[in-house]
Structure 1
Amino acid sequence: MKTKGYFLYFVWCMVQIVSGQSLRSDEIRFLNFTPVIDGKPDRQLLHLKQKEFHHFFSFDNVGASRTKITYLMGYTPTHLYLYIEAAADSITYRDRGFINGDGFKLLLAKRQKDSLTDEYYDIAFSPSKDKKYWARKRIWDYNRNQSHGKKLSSETHFEEAFYDGKARFEILLAWKDVEPYHPWFSNQLGYNLYFAKAIANDAATGYSVVKDEGIWDEEIPKRNFIPIVFEKPKNNNTAALIAKLTQRNIRVDDAVQLDLMTLSKTAENRSIEITIRDNSSKIVLDTKINCTLKNKIQHKLTSFKFRNPKPGVYHFLSRSGKDTIGQYDFVVFPKFNFDSIRSQITQNQHHLAYGTVNTLLFKANEVEKQLFQLKSYETGKKLLEQYFLFETELLSFLKGNDPYKGITKPYRRAFKSKYDNSFQPYTIKLPPDYSPAKKYPLLVFLHGSGQDEQTVLNQARSGGDFIEVAPFGRDQYNCYDSDSSQKDIVEAIEDVLAHFSADPNKMIIAGFSMGGYGALRTYYQHPELYKGVAVFAGHPDLANDWLGSGHPNFLEDQFLTPFSKIPVFIYHGRKDGALPVAKAEELIRKLKSNGIQVTERIMKDKTHEYPDDETNRIYFEWLTKIAEK
C-alpha cells in the first residue's frame, strides 16, 4: 500500500505539527507488579484508562464498518505492558496478521525536534496457532532498516484469547529488547499503535492511534507518533536496580560509562559488582561501587577504564547480590585514518585488477560511512567484523595478492559507475568448480524491498553450474524502475563479464518479491541480454501500485511483446499475505494467452517466502535447459 503523494503527506505532517495535533502526550501508568500474560488482563489492571484508536482505514473495502477496539498500557521497571480488545466473532489467523488481520504493530520512537522521527522500533505481532510462527512477535523495522528485523527474546510475552464476543491480545515487552527505550533513562519517547482487523474475503480494515503512512509504506523516511509521559513510581513492592552503558561503542582511549537507576520501597545500601570480559572470557575489569537506594528514582553515573584495551567485542555484567541488573556487549573500535587507507589502495603498487581496487575503495567508504552513522546505543559488532575482514583483505592487497581470488562463497564486490563515478556494490557467487578456462552461464538475481543484496545468494539460486550475481541496483523500494537501477544492473553484469568467465549469451534474470517485478522490468528494458525470466513471489504491476501511474504493467499486452520468444518461470504461495497470489495467476493467464511458454508453481501452503525443495528442483532443471540451448 504505497502512497502516491509523498509531498501531500509531508504537508499533512507539517499541518499536524503547526496545529499541535501530533504533539499531545499520553501518560503511561506505572505498575508495581508484573502482569500475567494469558490474553486476559489481571484484575489489578482494570483501573487503567481505556484508550481508543483515533483513526479508521476502510481502504478499498466498500461498506466496511468500524468496530470498537480499545487498548490499555502500563509499564514496570523491566517491561512495557499492552492489552488490546476488539469486538469480534473469533480471532482470524492469517500470514502477517499485523497487516492482513488479526494482528497489530507497536511503534516505539525516539522523539526528535518535531513529531516525526527516523529512530524507532516497529514491532509486529501476529496471532498464530503455531507459537513458533516466524512473524508471531518480531521487530519488523528498526531505524528504517528492515534487514535488522529479528525475533524478540523469550522475556517478551504475547498471548491472545477469545471469549465473550471479544478478541483479546496481551503483550509484555521487555525493555531490554528495545534498547535504549527505557523510560527511566530517556523522557523523549513516543509510540503509535496500528491494529489490522480481519474482515471477509481475506481483506482487512485498519485502526491507528496516530495517522502514519509509514505503517504500510516502507519508503516513508520518518514516522509519526504520540509523545509518552511515563508516570513516576509512587511505590514499588521490591527494589529495582537497572544498569546500562551510556555508550556501547567506544574508541581505544575512551572510558566505559555506567548509568545506574535505582528505586526501593525503603532506604537501603547496596553493593554493585561490575565485571568486564573480553571475547575470550578473560576478565579485564572487576570492581565494585556502593549506592544508597531510596523510595524514589535515583540516577548515578560512573566511569571505568581498563588497561590497554584492544579493538574487539567486550561483555559487561553488573550484579547486585544474586541479581543481574545489567548485561551488555559493547565494542572497542581502533582509531581510523580513512584518507590514508584510500591513498594506499589507489597507489596500487602491484597493479592488481581494477575490480579489486574498486571493491576495496567501496569497502573503505562503507566502513567510514557506517561508523559515522552508528548510534551510541548500538554495539557495531557487525561493523567491527566488517572492518576486520576489510583489514585482512587490505593487507593481502598491499602484499601484492588479490584477496578475492578463488572465493566461491558469496562475497561483495563493487564497480565504479561510468555515469557518476560512485562505487556501487553487487554480491557474486561462483560455482564450486569455477575455472577461468571454462565458460559459465550467468544468473542475475534481484533482491526484495527494504533490503540490500548481501544475503540473496546465501542459499542456492541455481543448481551450482551458474555464476550467480545479485546487484544492489541503488534500490530498496522503487521496483528497479529508475534509470540508476537499470544502469547499475547492466554495469554489474559488465563488471562480472570483465573479471570472470561468464558467457554473455547465456544470461537469465530472476528476482524475489519486489525483485520479481524487477526481473520483468529489467528484461523489458534489455530483452537482448537474457534468455529467460524467473519471478518468485512477485507482482506484475507493483511499480504502479507503489509509485503511482506511468510504469510498465505486465498484465497489459503492450508490455508483454518482448517476452514472446523466451521461457518464463513463476512461483507463488497461495497464502502469500504480502503480494497476493491473484496477480501472479493473472500474469500466468496473460502470458499463456500471448503464446508465451510458462512454467508455473503455485503452492497452496506457502506464504511470502522462498520456494520449497521440489519447486527448486524443477526450477534448476528449467535453468539448465535454457543454458544448454
Structure 2
Amino acid sequence: MRPLALLLLCGLAAFGQAPLVLPWSGTPAKPLVLKAEDGGPGKVELRVEAEPAGLRLRLRSDQRTFLTRDRGYQNGDGLIVVLALPERGAPARRFRVLGFSGAASWQGAFTWYRDVALDMSPLPGARMSWTVDRALSWEIRVPWADLAPYHPLLTPEIGLNACFMRAEGKGARAFSLLADPHLQWEQHPRAYVGARFAQPPAVPGAWSALPAQGRLEAGAPLVLQTGAALPVQARLRMPDLAVDLPLSIPAGRGPRKVALPQPLPEGTHRLEIQGPERTLAWSVTVLPAGGPGPLAQALEALGPRLDPGTRATLAFRLAEAQKTDERLAPWEPAPAVLTALATTREDLKALAAGRDPVASRPGLQRRAYRSALDGTLQPYSLRVPEHLQPGARYPLLVFLHGSGQDDQRVLERRRAPQGWFELAPAGRGTSNAFSADHAQDDLREALADVLARYPVDPARIVLAGFSMGGYGVYRTALARPGVFQGLAVFSGSPDLGPRWLGPGHPDFRDPALQARFRGMPIFIFHGTEDRNCPFEATRDLAKGLERAGALVTFVTEAGKGHENPAPDTLEGFFAWLHRLPHEPGAHPRRM
C-alpha cells in the first residue's frame, strides 16, 4: 500500500470515532493509552490536560531509565505531540508538531513542524520534570502563549496525536495514540484523533485573546478573538505606538473589535494584553495597501534596460512575499513579508534613479535566476564579502542544505572564512537528496549565475553540505567532475539517495563509485553518536575513499549526535580550506 493511502485510511478511521474529552487538571479522567506500533510488550500512558496557564502532559512508561540521546524525540527517549485544526474527515494541514526530550538544549522542547514545513523554534516557556523508579514519570507544561492558536477557550475542538519514542538498545520503539507513517516528515498533512476540551472552570485566570488577523492592510481595524470563563477586565498596550486602553473581555468566545485612537501604521507592532494572572504578547503586521501588486507594476515599468539578474531577483522576491502571505495562518504576523516589500520599494526607487543596489549589495541576501530549463524563477542565498577589491578574484564555498530546509537559513552562520563568497542553492526542494526534481540542474544554474555576476575564481570552488546536503556533495561531485577544488561533508550519509528515492540513485558505499574520487581533497566530519546518519557508515566510507586514493581528512567528535560540529572542528575546517592549493591556474583533478 502506498504511504499516502495508508495515512488517509488510518486518519479517516480515527475521524469517525467519538472525540476524546481532554479534562482540566485536577479532574479525574482515564489516561490515553499509547500502543506499541510493533505490537510488542510495553505500557505507556499519557494524560493531556488543560490548565488556565497552559497545556499539561503527564507520561508514564514502564521503564527504569530515561536516556537523553541526541534528537531523543526521534531516537529515544522523547515525546512527539501533534495539535491540529480538524478538517472534516481529512488529514490536517494546519497543525503543530511538538518535540520533547530530556536535553538541556533547544531539543528539550520545541516546535518541530508548523503546518507542513520544518520550524525548529524553541518553546521558551516549557517546563519539564521527571522521576524514574519502578517506572518513568514525566511531566511537561507548556504555556498557551507558546501554542497559539490552540487554547480551550479559542479552539475547543482540536486534532490530537502523540508518539513516545522509547529508547531500547541502540534504537527506539514507537508507542502511538494513532500510527502515522508521516508523523516525522515535512511536506505532509498529519493524521489525528478528534478531541475537545472540557468546559473550563469558572475562575478569572481562564481567559485568552489572540489577534483574529495577524496581517492587516494600513487603516484596517484591529480585531481580537477572545474567550473567557468569566468576564475579564484587561488592558491592551502597543508600546511602540503609545497605545494603552482598557479592554473588556466578556464570558464566552468570539471576535472583539478594538477601537484604537488612530489607525495602525505600516510596520510590525507588539501587542500586549494584560489580564488576570498573565500578560499575553503577540505581534500584528500592517502591510502596505495592495501588497506586492503595485511594486510588480513598477518593476515591469522599468523595461528591458534592467539587469536580468536584478529583474529575476526582484520578481522572485515579490512572488515569494505573496506566497508567504497566502501560506501563513490568519493569526500569524508577517514581518518577513513587510521587509521584502519595503526593501523592494527602496530598490525600485534606486533603479528608477539609475543605480542598481541589487547587483552591488554586499552581505547575506537572497537572489534568483530565470531557469533556462523551464523558464521558472529559482532562488539561492548568497553571502558577498563586504569589501571587494577591483580586479581581484575570490574563493567560493557552495553549501548544500539538509532535509526539510531550503536555502534561506543555511548561511545564517558562517560556513567559510572571511573573504569567501558563500552560496546556498535551493535545489528545487527540501528533501530530494539533491538527486531528483532537477536538483542537479538547479545547482548547475545557480553556480553559473554567481560566476557570471561576481568576481569568483572558478579554480577555487569548494562544495560542502550537512546531513542530506552531505549526500548531495557526493552526488554533485559525481555529476560534475573537475568543477570543485575540494569537498566537505558534515554528518552525511553515503546511501541516502537509494534509501529515500529508490533504485537509480548512486550508493557511495560502492567501491567503483569511490574510485571516482581519486586525488580529490575531502574533509569529512561525523559525530560518533549520530543515529540519524549512522557514524559507522561514514567511517567505512572514509576508509574506502582513502583506499581509492582520495585525500581524506576525517574528523570525529566523541558523543556528538546529528548536529553541527564544535567551534574547534570548524576552525580546523577553515584551516583545511586555507591549505587547499590556490596558486594561479590550479584546478582540481578530474574525477
Range of TM-score over shorter length: over 0.9
Which residue of the other structure, out of 174, 186, 191, is the alignment partner of 2:155?
Answer: 186
When the two structures are aligned, how many residues end up with a matched partner?
Answer: 583
Deviation of 1:352 after TM superposition, in Å, equals 4.0
Equivalent position of 2:388 in the other structure:
434
Equivalent position of 2:220 in the other structure:
254
Q: Is the 8 A contact 2:210 2:331 kept in 1?
A: no
Equivalent position of 2:236 in the other structure:
274
Q: Distance in 1 between matches of 2:249 and 2:544?
A: 73
Q: Is the 8 A contact 1:25 1:229 kept in 2?
A: yes
Report the more deviating stretch, 245-254 or 202-211: 245-254
Equivalent position of 1:13 in the other structure:
7
Q: Look up the SS of the partner of 2:415 in the other structure.
A: coil
1:471 aligns with 2:396: no
2:271 maps to amino acid: F
Change (3 A) 1:289 1:93: closer
Equivalent position of 2:34 in the other structure:
53
Equivalent position of 1:34 in the other structure:
none
Q: Distance in 2 between matches of 1:559 and 1:382?
A: 43
| Deviation sequence 1:443-500 (CA, Å, 0-9, x none) | 2111111111122223332223432211111120110001511011111111111111
Structure 2: 5+ residue stretches without partners: 587-591
| Deviation sequence 1:127-160 (CA, Å, 0-9, x none) | 13xxx322011111111222x3211122x22112
Change (3 A) 1:483 1:175: closer
Q: Is the 8 A contact 2:35 2:44 kept in 1?
A: no
Where does 1:163-242 land on structure 2 (aligned, <5 Å)? Answer: 163=133, 165-200=134-169, 202-219=170-187, 221-233=188-200, 235-236=201-202, 238=204, 240-242=206-208
Q: Is the 8 A contact 2:270 2:282 kept in 1?
A: yes
| Deviation sequence 1:86-145 (CA, Å, 0-9, x none) | 1112212211111111111111111113241121111111113xxx32201111111122
Q: Distance in 2 between matches of 1:121 and 1:166?
A: 29
Equivalent position of 2:110 in the other structure:
138
Change (3 A) 1:177 1:524: same
Q: Is the 8 A contact 1:262 1:299 kept in 2?
A: no
Equivalent position of 2:577 in the other structure:
623
1:263 aligns with 2:263: no
Equivalent position of 2:589 in the other structure:
none
Where does 1:313-352 land on structure 2 (aligned, <5 Å)? Answer: 313-320=268-275, 323-324=277-278, 326-336=280-290, 338-348=292-302, 351-352=305-306
Q: Distance in 2 between matches of 1:563 and 1:186?
A: 56
Deviation of 1:435 after TM superposition, in Å, equals 2.6
Change (3 A) 1:470 1:325: closer
Q: Is the 8 A contact 2:321 2:337 kept in 1?
A: yes
Q: Is the 8 A contact 1:441 1:467 kept in 2?
A: yes
Change (3 A) 1:289 1:479: closer
Where does 1:58-137 land on structure 2 (aligned, <5 Å)? Answer: 65-128=40-103, 132-137=104-109
Change (3 A) 1:318 1:597: closer
1:182 maps to amino acid: H
Change (3 A) 1:239 1:204: closer
Q: Is the 8 A contact 1:248 1:378 kept in 2?
A: yes
1:261 maps to amino acid: G
Q: Is the 8 A contact 1:111 1:227 kept in 2?
A: yes
Q: Look up the SS of the partner of 1:260 in the other structure.
A: strand
Deviation of 1:19 after TM superposition, in Å, equals 4.7
1:614 maps to amino acid: D
| Deviation sequence 1:315-340 (CA, Å, 0-9, x none) | 333334x6545432211111126444
Q: Look up the SS of the partner of 1:57 in the other structure.
A: coil
**Identity fraction in percent:** 27
Q: Distance in 2 between matches of 1:337 and 1:459?
A: 31
Change (3 A) 1:299 1:77: farther
Deviation of 1:17 after TM superposition, in Å, equals 5.4
Q: Is the 8 A contact 1:350 1:400 kept in 2?
A: no
Deviation of 1:290 after TM superposition, in Å, equals 4.7
Q: Is the 8 A contact 1:106 1:124 kept in 2?
A: yes
Report the more deviating stretch, 8-17 or 422-431: 8-17
**Structure 1 length normalisation: TM-score?**
0.87
Q: Distance in 1 between matches of 2:14 and 2:178?
A: 13
Equivalent position of 1:576 in the other structure:
530
Q: Is the 8 A contact 2:14 2:193 kept in 1?
A: no
Deviation of 1:222 after TM superposition, in Å, equals 0.8
Which residue of the other structure, out of 439, 442, 462, is the alignment partner of 2:416?
Answer: 462
Q: Distance in 2 between matches of 1:133 and 1:612?
A: 14
Q: Look up the SS of the partner of 2:23 in the other structure.
A: strand
Change (3 A) 1:405 1:159: same
Deviation of 1:174 after TM superposition, in Å, equals 1.3
Change (3 A) 1:586 1:381: same
Q: Distance in 2 between matches of 1:469 and 1:345?
A: 26
1:402 aligns with 2:402: no
Deviation of 1:314 after TM superposition, in Å, equals 2.0
Change (3 A) 1:574 1:19: closer
Deviation of 1:48 after TM superposition, in Å, equals 2.5
Q: Is the 8 A contact 1:71 1:82 kept in 2?
A: yes
Change (3 A) 1:299 1:487: closer
Q: Distance in 1 between matches of 2:543 and 2:296?
A: 53
Q: Look up the SS of the partner of 1:527 in the other structure.
A: coil
Instruction: Write out the 4+ residue segments of structure 1 that deviate beyond 6 Å after TM superposition.
Output: none
1:550 aligns with 2:504: yes
Change (3 A) 1:435 1:272: same
